[in-house]
Structure formats: C-alpha cells, structure tokens
Amino acid sequence: MDALALGMAHRYPESHVLYRKFNRHFPVIVRGKGCTLWDDTGKAYLDGSGGAYVCNLGHGVTAIADAVSAQMREVAYVTGMQFTNPAVEALAAEMAALSVGDLDKFLFLTSGADATEAALKLARQHWVARGRPSKHKILALAPAYHGHTMLALSAGARPAYRAMFGEWMVPVVQVPAPYAYRCACDGAADCPRCTGTILEEVIAREGADSIAVFIGETVGGSSTGASVPRDAYWRTVREICTRHDILWVADEVLVGAGRTGTWTAVEPYGAVPDIMTMGKGISARYAPLAAVVTAERVLAPIAEQGGGVLHAQTYAHTPMMCAAGVATVRYVREHDLLARCRAMGARLHAALAPLRDHPLVGDVRGRGLLAGIELVADRATRAPFPRAQGVADRVADAALAEGLVCWPHAGGADGVNGDVVCLAPPFVVSDAELLEMVARLERALERVAASRPGR
Ligand SMILES: Cc1ncc(COP(=O)(O)O)c(C=O)c1O
C-alpha cells in the first residue's frame, strides 16, 4: 500500500519513505507543466531552480516522454558490455557535434557522481598506461561539489562530510577556488586565486610527477553559488596543466547542457579540458543520465594496451536513458533554447539586480539562467551568518510557502558558514514568470529579515 492510499503524513517517520530530512513535511507533487508544479492540495509552485538544476526544458514536455516511451517499447535495455544500440550512437553523435575541441568520445552513466568517479579513474588509467604510475594525486578546487559517492565526496571535500566520513575518503589536494566575493584580493589583477596561477604554486609544492589530475567546476554550482571565474581563468589552467602533464577534468554536471547560455560553460573561455563530466540538463532529467566525454589523445595510451575503461555500471549506455538524451538535445536545438537561455538570463540578472540593496544580500552573480544570491550578516564586512541560523534554508522554506522553488546552499564562505540561494529556471521561462519568481524570492527574503533577532 502506498503512503497516499494509507493517508499517511509525508514526513518522517509516518511514511515508509526514508526522506532526506527527518524534520520536515514534504508536499506531494502530482503534476508539472512548463515552469509550474502542483501539489496534491492544488497549490502551485514556480520551479525557479528546475528542481536540482535539472529541468532545463520545463515539466511535461510530451516530445521527450514520447521518445522515451517509444524506445522502451522498442527495446528498453541492453548491456553496454556486449552491445551498442541506435540511441547511444545517436546521442554520442549529437553531443560530439556540440562539444568543445576534440572531446568526442562519450561514456553514458546515470548520475553526476558516477561520472566524477569514472572521470577521475580514467585519468589515473591514462597515466598508468603511459608508464607513469607515480602520477596518482588528485587536485581539486575548494569549495567544490562533485557528488555524493566517496571519491566524488573526497574531491568535493566539504568539511561536514569529512567530519562524518573522513576515514573513508581518499586524500585530495585542495586548490582555492575562484570565488571573487570571498577573495581578499579586492579584484587585484594578479590575484593567484582569481587568475588560476595558484595552481602553479600547488603543483610546485606537491610535485608534478605525483599528480594525475585536476578537477574543477567550470562555473561554481552548489559550491561557490554561481561564481563565474575571470575570462582568462580556464586558459591559464589549461596552460599550466599542459606544461606539467596533468589532466584537467571540467565538471559541467550542473553548468553544462546550456545552463550558462552556451552548451558547455567552458566554451567562452576558449580552453579545451582533457575530460568533461555532464549530467542533469543533458536529459533534462526525463531519465537519469550523465556523461563522461574525453578525447582520443587521452584514450589512445589505454587502447594501445588493449584494455578498456575500468568503470562499469549496469545502466551504462542504456537505450531508454539515451533516448531521453537524444530527444533533449534535439529539442534544445530545434527550439533554439541556448539563445533563449542567454536572452532570459540577461532578463533574470536585470530583475535580480535591485536585490543587491537588500539588507540580507551581499552579492548577486551568475551567468545565463544561473544566479546566486549570497546572504550575509554584515554587508560591509561580508561576514556570513552562523550556520546554526540556517538562513539559506529558511529563505528557501519561506520561498516554498510563497510558491517558489529555489535552491539553498551553505558552507561556501569557510566550509561551515556561508549562505547562498540559487535560481536556475527552465529555459522556457516567460518574462512574467521570471518577474514573479524574483518577486516571490524578495517576499521570502522579507519574511526571513523580519524574523531576525533585533527586528
Ligand atoms: C557540479 C556537480 N557535480 C556532480 C554532481 C553530482 O551529480 P548527481 O547528483 O547526479 O550524482 C552535482 C550534483 O549536484 C554537481 O552539482
């Protein structure tokens, strides 16, 4: 019997569902269309973050549902260990046409975390195949987020998870992430952290011969809350990695697939990574789908040994999920949604700009249809709120009460404190919907500001 039929409350421990949080009620969403979700009481929510930065096409796109269902009727599953299939071949070809540089070999998996694991393992395989097994270290930007499996968590290095699972994590060398609002340089042109030259310092300290790979989110997602690195940042990283024989993995699970206005977020930087991960928007999550893409130059040494990719998953290259990807990529192209994302992104940032004067807001930033609103206790000193106050979560809850889904993040400022609320609407969002999202967010901020001690 399901919880609905039993009339159970949708909170722990009444339901049989093990909810992610034990201390809240979960509305039951029964329908979605475009940017709107409806719960079982009829309440409507504007989906301002596409769930977890996923629903790029909006909800209820029947073209995608039809494509997935047609594929499932034809053949839903074959193992990628023994067969290929038309859907995976088509998806790889479609995505190769949109890719940067020579990144044109795709491994399709089901989650971003899995893609992170596969990408890092591939980098290690590359160096072992080239007879350089001493190259094993992982360098990763901090703050960062790469997923919840253990290697991905290790690379993400969030102190809260380290405290709980530290013994199970692999050592990862941290490189301070480009995060202009939280950098002491005050915009200095030669800031090592903001320009990327800090990577050179870390490599000198660790020894290039011991380093296999450097991983970073091209534009900050849940880590630095939509912080956009400077224009030359990724070209600098490219040059440093090439000079020291280090593979660069660009994590585009959140910011790829058009979210920042170009198919890949790295495109405007004019730099080509060695490996890239993608997820979320590549199927607009009409089916679980993620990808690792790399180049022949990375694979050739492994191929010469007669081996294969040492990463397996039951659902790799599954026709059903790849059909969702093909339909999504074609939908983006046929509806010119990258151009729409750029245009609506400009409107979103213009609409959010006045929030810079709000007493809770320290910074508003982002690119395309990705925006981060950083909330601070003191606008002059940029001091974050103490984590215990849960300010970003309270704003997100207040937004939900106002009928807006937005996404809260914590810990960006110093690993524990630091509150950011992000918006990432579907690319099909209308002008009126955008303005309404911003208005509801503003009302949510007002609710939280009004409940602050001393008001
Ligand atoms: C940048 C980045 N990488 C990896 C992941 C992990 O993706 P998934 O949740 O599909 O495992 C996420 C998820 O939010 C992400 O934002």
pLDDT tens digit sequence for 401-428: 999 999 999 999 998 999 999 999 999 9
CB-count burial class (<10 Å; 0-12, 13-18, 19+) for 247: buried
Mind giving me the DSSP string for 35-49?
TEEEETTS-EEEETT
pLDDT score, position 161: 80
Q: Find out whether 64 and 324 touch, Cβ atoms under 8 Å.
A: yes
Strand order in the sheet with 407-410: 361-367, 370-375, 419-423, 407-410
Q: How far is the CA of 148 from the centre of ligand 1 (A)?
A: 8
Residues 194 and 320 in one domain: yes
- Mutate which of 254, 313, 321, 409 for ligand 1? The one with the most ligand atoms within 8 Å of its CB, which is 254
Mean of the per-residue pLDDT values of the chain: 95
CATH code, 296:
3.40.640.10
Ligand 1 atom 16, closest CA: 254
Measured distance CA(135)–CA(349) in Å, rounded? 43
pLDDT score, position 455: 56
Residues 136 and 278 in one domain: yes
Residues 153 and 276 in one domain: yes
Query: Average pLDDT in the 263-280 region?
Result: 98
pLDDT score, position 162: 80
Residues 170 and 299 in one domain: yes
pLDDT score, position 280: 96
Query: Average pLDDT in the 238-267 region?
Result: 98
**pLDDT tens per residue, range 247-257:** 999 999 999 99
**pLDDT tens per residue, range 57-83:** 999 999 999 999 999 999 999 999 999
pLDDT score, position 38: 98
**Binning pLDDT at 50, 70 and 90, where does residue 8 land?**
low
For the cut 80, the answer to whether the pLDDT of residue 2 exceeds it is: no
**pLDDT tens per residue, range 375-393:** 999 999 999 999 999 999 9
Residues near 122 by Cβ (< 8 Å), separated by ≥ 6? Answer: 275, 292, 294, 298, 302, 309, 311
Q: How far is the CA of 446 from the centre of ligand 1 (A)?
A: 30
Residue that is last in its domain, among 307, 334, 361: 334
Residues 75 and 188 in one domain: yes
- Mutate which of 117, 280, 285 for ligand 1? The one with the most ligand atoms within 8 Å of its CB, which is 280
pLDDT score, position 267: 98
Q: How far is the CA of 117 from the centre of ligand 1 (A)?
A: 11
Query: Average pLDDT in the 313-337 region?
Result: 97
451 or 300: which leads in pLDDT: 300
Residues 375 and 248 in one domain: no
Measured from the CA of 152, which atom of ligand 1 is nearest? 4
**pLDDT tens per residue, range 90-107:** 999 999 999 999 999 999
Residue that is last in its domain, among 313, 334, 355: 334
pLDDT score, position 39: 96
User: Cis omega before residue 319 (within 30°)?
Assistant: no
**Binning pLDDT at 50, 70 and 90, where does residue 1 land?**
very low
Query: Average pLDDT in the 240-251 region?
Result: 98
For the cut 90, the answer to whether the pLDDT of residue 163 exceeds it is: no
Measured from the CA of 111, which atom of ligand 1 is nearest? 10
Residues 38 and 91 in one domain: no
Distance (Å) of CA 206 to CA 199, 216, 251: 11, 18, 22
For the cut 50, the answer to whether the pLDDT of residue 340 exceeds it is: yes
With a Cβ cut-off of 6 Å, ligand 1 is lined by: 52, 111-113, 116, 145-147, 217, 221-222, 251, 253-254, 279, 290
Residues 242 and 349 in one domain: no
Q: Is residue 4 part of a domain?
A: no
Residues 97 and 211 in one domain: yes
CATH code, 370:
3.90.1150.10
Residues 130 and 208 in one domain: yes
Q: Is residue 3 part of a domain?
A: no
Measured distance CA(25)–CA(43) in Å, rounded? 15
Q: Is residue 224 part of a domain?
A: yes
How many domains are there within the chain?
Answer: 2
For the cut 80, the answer to whether the pLDDT of residue 454 exceeds it is: no
For the cut 50, the answer to whether the pLDDT of residue 333 exceeds it is: yes
32 or 452: which leads in pLDDT: 32
Amino acid (one-letter) located at 343: A
Residues 186 and 277 in one domain: yes
Mind giving me the DSSP string for 30-97?
EEEEBTEEEETTS-EEEETTHHHHT-TT-B--HHHHHHHHHHHHH-----TTT---HHHHHHHHHHHH
Q: Is residue 5 part of a domain?
A: no
| Structural domain boundaries, residue 260 | 64-334
pLDDT score, position 3: 46
**Binning pLDDT at 50, 70 and 90, where does residue 157 land?**
confident
Q: How far is the CA of 146 from the centre of ligand 1 (A)?
A: 5
Q: Find out whether 185 and 151 touch, Cβ atoms under 8 Å.
A: no
Residues 250 and 290 in one domain: yes
pTM of structure: 0.97
Residue that is last in its domain, among 316, 334, 352: 334
Query: Average pLDDT in the 223-233 region?
Result: 97
Q: Find out whether 77 and 319 touch, Cβ atoms under 8 Å.
A: yes
Q: What percent of the chain has pLDDT over 70?
A: 98
